[in-house]
Amino acid sequence: MTVLTIETQGPGLYEFTDRLHDLARGDGVMTVFVRHTSCSLLIQENADPDVQRDLKAFFDRLVPPSDAPPMRWITHTSEGPDDMPAHIKAAMLPVSLSIPVLSGRLALGTWQGVYLFEHRTRPHRREVAVAFTSTAA
């Protein structure tokens, strides 16, 4: 198991596909797991940055801050208005990904990049655990 560290400066998508490619070897499955409950993993289009901006905007609209009128029913507000929405987004988006590996290469599609999706406002140091299991006979 390898633990990658990703420093985040506010909400948004942070790509780390290349760091996973560097860890891939042989034939098997790479498991990627984020050790937090207020950020997510995401595989999404790596071509047009508009896609990443629109994705973030959609989830911000679906889950507004807890001091916005439609979210005033939220009770867990002690860690700031961005905290409970971050937990909700982290529930809706992946905490683990399983990616097949063939001949030392991740079987990602042409347009697939792997991202950490930060949901908190303040800077965070995030840990992503990566494990490889082999399909060798």
Binding mask 62-81 for its own copies (x = CB under 8 A): xx---------xxxx-----
Residue 79's SS3 state is coil
- Write the CB contacts of 43 (distance below 8 Å, at least 6 apart in sequence): 94, 97, 108, 112, 113, 114, 115
H or E segment at 116? strand 112-118
Per CB under 8 A, the list member of 5, 18, 50, 72 interacting with its own copies is 50
Nearest partner of 59 among 78, 74, 39, judged by Cα: 39
Per CB under 8 A, the list member of 67, 91, 104, 122 interacting with its own copies is 91
Nearest partner of 117 among 85, 72, 69, judged by Cα: 85
Q: Is 116 exposed, middle or buried (0-12, 13-18, 19+ CB in 10 A)?
A: buried
Per CB under 8 A, the list member of 51, 80, 81, 121 interacting with its own copies is 51
Q: What is the DSSP letter of 135?
A: -
Per CB under 8 A, the list member of 29, 64, 80, 81 interacting with its own copies is 29
Binding mask 116-135 for its own copies (x = CB under 8 A): -----------x-xxxxxxx
State yes or no: residue 17 binds its own copies (CB under 8 A).
no
Residues that bind its own copies (CB under 8 A): 1, 3, 27-29, 31, 33, 35-37, 42-45, 48, 50-51, 53-55, 57-58, 61-63, 73-76, 84, 87-88, 90-102, 107-109, 111-112, 127, 129-136
